[in-house]
Structure 1
Amino acid sequence: MDVSPVTTRERLDFGAPYGMLIDGEIVPAATTFEVLNPATNRPFADAPRGSAEDMNRAIAAAKGAFPAWAALSAAEREAYMVALYDALEENKEEFITLLSLEQGKPRHNQATFEVNLANPWIPKTAASRLETVVLEEDEERRVELRRSPLGVVGAIIPWNYPYLHVLWKSVPAMITGNTVVLKPSPYTPLCALRIGELAAQILPAGVLNIVTGGNELGPVLTESPDVDMITFTGSTATGSKIMAAAAGTVKRVTLEMGGNDPAILLPDVDWKAAVPKVFAAALGNSGQWCIAAKRVYVHNSFHEDFVAAFVEYAKTQSVGDGMNPTSDLGPINNRMQYEKIRELLEDTRANGYRVPLGGSVDDSREGNFVPITVVDNPPENSRIVQEEQFGPIVPIIAYEDVDDVVARANATVFGLGATVWGSDLDRALEIADRIDSGNVWVNEGQSHPLNAPFGGHKQSGLSVEHGNEGLASHTNNKTVVIRKK
C-alpha cells in the first residue's frame, strides 16, 4: 500500500522573513529580535519573539493533533518523515550557509558535517520500530509488552548544534506517535524556523510546532499540564531547573547536560598518530560540544613530546569567519559564552600555569574569536581542569599511574563521555569499563552510531536518546495480559 503523504512542497525562499510554526501555519510574532553573526557580532536577520500566548497556542495545537497522529501506522508516520528528509535535502546547501551564519562554525567543514550527519539520520530512525514483545505464553494466556505514545513532547534545544538538534529531538518523538512543541535557543533560531516552513508543507497541522523567543518561554513549556514530556540538551544548571519544573505535573524528562570528559592516553599508545585525532576530539566545533575531550591525560613517558607535537599541529589550524573556506575553527557562538571563556583564560594567567599556545584574546578583533589555547599540566584542582570550558581550550595533564588517572577521570560530578587511547585493545576496554560515563570511545573521537543509546551518568543527564532505547523513552510501557481460555 502506498502511504506517501500528499504535500505541496516548494523550495524555500531563504531571503523571506521568518515566522513561527503553530498549528500548521507560519505566523509572525508581535515583536522580533536580532540574530547576530558571531563572526562580526552584527545582526543579519530578525527572528519572531514569541509570547507565552504563542507558546500556549502551540501546545494546544500539539494536543489537538495528537489523537489522529498517534492513530496512524508507523509506516504512515515514516512516510511523512521521509518526505521531510527529501525536502531538507533539496534545500541542503542553503541550510549549510544559514547554519554557518547563525552558529559561526565553518561552512566548508563543520556546518556541512552537521547537516550531512542530521539529514540521513531521519529516514534511518524513521524506519525503526518498537515491536510488541511477548514476555511469556502458554495454552492459557499470553503476556505482551506494548508501547504507547506519551502525547505532547516539549523539546528545548541548544545553540551549539542547532540544525542537528531540531531533528534529533523531533523525529524520534514524532515517529513514536507523539506531537512536538520545539523551542530553539534565542542565539540560533533560524535553521529551526526554516525547517518549520518545510514541515508546514508536509506534516499534518499541529504535529510539529516551533516557537522562538527568549528564555522566559521555557517555563511555559515545562510547567504546562498539557505537555507530557520534556527533552532537553544544555547546561546542568538549566536542566536541574527543568527537572524541578516538570515535577509539578510529573512529566517524563530526558536531560542531556554538561560534561567534563576525560581523554586518557595509555602508556602503549601510538601518541604521534593520536595527536590530530585528540585535537579533533577536544577542539572540534571550537570546543563547543558537550562531549568534547575537555581534559587530556597523557602518560609521563611521552607527555612533554606530546604537548610539543600537539602545539605544532594546532598551529596549522586557523580560527576565523565561518564563511571563509580557509577557517578550520569558527568563533564562539555568543557573547555570554565568550565572556565565560575569557574569565577562564584570565584565571589561568593569574595562576601562572604554563600556556605554550594561545591564552590571550585579541580585543581588537571583530567577533567572538578565542585563539586555540593549550594549558600544560595545570593542577587537578584548577578551574581549567574542573570546569567545562566549552571553547577552544584544552589542558594536557601528565600522569604516572593508570589506576590513579582513572580515579582522577572519575572525580567529577559529570559523566557524559570519555575517550581511551591505546594499542592493547583489551587493556583499553578494561579502562573504558572503569570510567563512570554514559559513552566511551576507544581509539576514536566522538561518533554517534545510529542504534547506540546516548545519555549521561551523574549530573550529565537522565534517560537516553537514539537507538531503540531512545525511541522507547518517548513511550509508555503497557503490559497486556491475555487470558485465552
Structure 2
Amino acid sequence: MTDIVSVNPAHPLLEIARMPASSTQEVDEAARRGAEAQRDWARLPASERGRALMAFADRLSSEAESLASLICDEVGKPIGEARAEVVRSVDILRYYAGLAMLPDGETLPSSTARGWLLSRRYPVGVIGMITPWNFPLAIPTWKAAPALAYGNAVLLKPASSAIGVARRFAAAAQESLPDGILHMLTGERDVAEAIIDHASVSAVSFTGSTVVGRSVAARAGARGAAVQCEMGGQNPSVVLRDADMEQAASTIATAITGYAGQKCTATSRVIVEDPLGDAFVDLLADRLKALKVGDPALPGTEVGPLIDAAARQSVLAAVASSSGRTITGGTAVDGLEGFYVTPTLVDVSSSRDVLIEQEVFGPVAAVVRARSREEALGLANYGTYGLVASVFTSDLEAAMTFCDELQVGMVKINAPTSGADFHAPFGGSRASALGPHEQGLAAREFFTQRRTLTLA
C-alpha cells in the first residue's frame, strides 16, 4: 500500500504527516456509509445540526494554536496567516450553524381556492469534496460547513501536501457529528476519480487549477452529478492616475506576496495608468524589496516558501521565459533550505507574455502601462480568467464604471485582490469557475435542491 507523505516546505527533510492512500474499496465503503448516515442526518431538526456544527467549531477553537502551528509547518504559511485561517474556519462553522435555521422554502399562490403551493429546499445527498493545500483548513471548512448545515454528508479528499491538517479537521468533525457523516480519503488522481464516479455521490465540489477543474466537471457531468469548481485566477490590480500611490503600493505588495502568492486571489498583474508610470513602479518595487522573506514560523516573516521544489522551479521558469524586464526579484533565496523565491516584479510590454496569460502561483507580478482609463479596463479584461480584480482610484464614477465593466466574479475598490468575506458569495467567471458560487447564502444553491409541493 502506498503512503501519502507531507513535508515542511521550509525544512524539506522534516516529515509532517504520513497516511496510507485510500483504496477504491475504501472509497466505496465511505460513500455507502455516508449515504446511509445522511438520511438520518437530514431528518434531524435544523437546530440539532446547528448545535453539532457549533460543537465542531468549539473543538477547532480549543485546538487553535496547535492547528495554526501545523498549518505553518505543513504548507509553509506564515504563522500570523495560519492563525487567521484557524479563526476564520471557526467563524465559518458558527456562521453556518446559524444559517441552518433560516427558512428552507417559500409559499406561492395556489391555483385552487383551498390548495397550498410551496417550494422547499432539501439536501442533495453525499457531496464529494476535492480540496487544495493552500488553505488546508479554511477551504474544507467553507465547503463542508454549508453542506453539513443543510443535511448532506461529506467525502473529503484533501491535497496530499496537506493531509496532516485535513486529518485534524476530520477528527474534530467526527467527534462532533454523528457517525458516518464526514469521511476523509487520501490519495492521488485515482482516489479523486473514484469519488467523482461513485453512484452514491450526488455532487462534487472542487478547488484547484482550471485544467483539472474542467476535467472534474466533465467527469462528474457525464453521469449527471452536480458540480462546482473554483479554479484559477490571473488577477489584475488597476492603479488609475488619481489613486493614492502609497496606499496602493502597500496594498498591492501584500496581495502579490501574501502566502508567497499561492492564492487563487493573488495579484498577478499590475496595470498602471499614465502618468503614474515609473514613479508608481519604483514605489511598488521598494515595497516588495522591504518584505521579510524567511522561516514562516518566525513572527516577523512576511513571505514564506513555496509548497515544494517543483512549484519553485515552475515560478522561476515563468519569470525566465518572460519577455519583460525584471525590476526586482526573480531568483531563489540563498541561505535558506526551503523552497523560497524573492518577491518579483517584471515590467512587461506584450499582452502575450507568460506572466500575463498564465497563473504563476508565486510571489510574482507583471507591470503593464496603460495610456488611459479605457485602455486599463481593456487590459484588465484581457485573457481567459475572471476571478477578482482590484481598482485603486479616488474617483467614484471610475470605481462604478469598473464595477460594471470588469469581467470577473469579484471587484474590490482600494482593497487587495486577495482575501474574502466568508458571508459573501465567492467565485469567478469565465475560466475561473464552473457552477454556483461558494460561501455566504450563495452556498445554499449548490448544497440544496428545490422541490415544488402541491397540496390540493
Query: What's the TM-score, normalizing by structure 1?
Result: 0.90
Mapped partners of 1:248, 1:302: distance in 2? 51
Which sits farther off after the overlay, 202-211 or 272-281? 272-281
**Does 2:173 correspond to 1:199?**
yes
**Does 2:44 correspond to 1:65?**
no
Name 2:72's counterpart in structure 1.
100
CA-to-partner distance for each residue in 1:257-295, whole Å, 9 max, x for gaps?
Answer: 011111111221111221111112222111111111210
Instruction: Give the counterpart of 1:246 among 217, 220, 228.
Output: 220
Name 2:337's counterpart in structure 1.
366
Name 1:464's counterpart in structure 2.
437
**Does 2:138 correspond to 1:164?**
yes
**Does 2:408 correspond to 1:403?**
no
Mapped partners of 1:467, 1:213: distance in 2? 30
Residue identity in the other structure for 2:273: H
Mapped partners of 1:195, 1:391: distance in 2? 26
Q: How does 1:262-277 map to 2 (within 5 A)?
A: 262-277=236-251
Q: How does 1:168-187 map to 2 (within 5 A)?
A: 168-187=142-161
The answer (yes or no) to whether the contact 1:429–1:442 under 8 Å persists in 2 is: no
Q: How does 1:7-406 map to 2 (within 5 A)?
A: 30-45=1-16, 46-107=18-79, 109-128=80-99, 129-137=102-110, 139-348=113-322, 351=323, 353-362=324-333, 365-406=336-377
Percent same amino acid at aligned positions?
30
Residue identity in the other structure for 1:158: P
CA-to-partner distance for each residue in 1:146-200, whole Å, 9 max, x for gaps?
Answer: 1011100000000111111121111111101000000000011111101212222
Residue identity in the other structure for 1:192: A
- Going from structure 1 to structure 2, the CA distance change for 1:411 and 1:213 (only over 3 Å counts) comes to same
**Does 2:410 correspond to 1:439?**
yes
Name 2:396's counterpart in structure 1.
425
Mapped partners of 1:259, 1:33: distance in 2? 28
CA-to-partner distance for each residue in 1:425-476, whole Å, 9 max, x for gaps?
Answer: 2320211210111111111124423432111111111211112221221111
Residue identity in the other structure for 1:265: V
* Pairwise CA RMSD: 1.6
The answer (yes or no) to whether the contact 1:196–1:210 under 8 Å persists in 2 is: yes
Cα deviation for residue 339 of structure 1 reads 2.0
Cα deviation for residue 345 of structure 1 reads 1.9
Mapped partners of 2:246, 2:398: distance in 1? 19
The answer (yes or no) to whether the contact 1:130–1:468 under 8 Å persists in 2 is: no
**Does 2:399 correspond to 1:455?**
no
Give the SS at the match of 2:109: strand
Name 2:452's counterpart in structure 1.
479
The answer (yes or no) to whether the contact 2:131–2:207 under 8 Å persists in 1 is: yes
Mapped partners of 2:134, 2:126: distance in 1? 25
Residue identity in the other structure for 2:318: L
Structure 1, gaps ≥5 residues long: 1-29
CA-to-partner distance for each residue in 1:211-258, whole Å, 9 max, x for gaps?
Answer: 112232110011111100000000011101101110232001011001
Query: What's the TM-score, normalizing by structure 2?
Result: 0.95
CA-to-partner distance for each residue in 1:121-158, whole Å, 9 max, x for gaps?
Answer: 21112211253112335744332221011100000000
Mapped partners of 1:202, 1:317: distance in 2? 41
Which sits farther off after the overlay, 50-59 or 293-302? 50-59
Which sits farther off after the overlay, 250-259 or 379-388? 379-388
Residue identity in the other structure for 1:55: V
Give the SS at the match of 1:436: coil
Matched positions, count: 450
Residue identity in the other structure for 1:147: R
Cα deviation for residue 88 of structure 1 reads 0.5
The answer (yes or no) to whether the contact 1:186–1:215 under 8 Å persists in 2 is: no
Name 1:23's counterpart in structure 2.
none
Residue identity in the other structure for 1:317: L
Which sits farther off after the overlay, 420-429 or 149-158? 420-429
Cα deviation for residue 326 of structure 1 reads 2.6
Cα deviation for residue 365 of structure 1 reads 4.0
Name 1:3's counterpart in structure 2.
none
Cα deviation for residue 402 of structure 1 reads 1.4
Residue identity in the other structure for 1:96: A
Mapped partners of 2:349, 2:331: distance in 1? 17
The answer (yes or no) to whether the contact 2:123–2:152 under 8 Å persists in 1 is: yes
Which sits farther off after the overlay, 403-412 or 293-302? 403-412
Residue identity in the other structure for 1:110: E
Residue identity in the other structure for 1:218: A
Structure 2, gaps ≥5 residues long: none
Mapped partners of 2:232, 2:358: distance in 1? 10
CA-to-partner distance for each residue in 1:387-420, whole Å, 9 max, x for gaps?
Answer: 1111000112110121122122212111111111
Residue identity in the other structure for 1:38: P
- Going from structure 1 to structure 2, the CA distance change for 1:370 and 1:247 (only over 3 Å counts) comes to same
Which sits farther off after the overlay, 83-92 or 394-403? 394-403
The answer (yes or no) to whether the contact 1:378–1:395 under 8 Å persists in 2 is: no
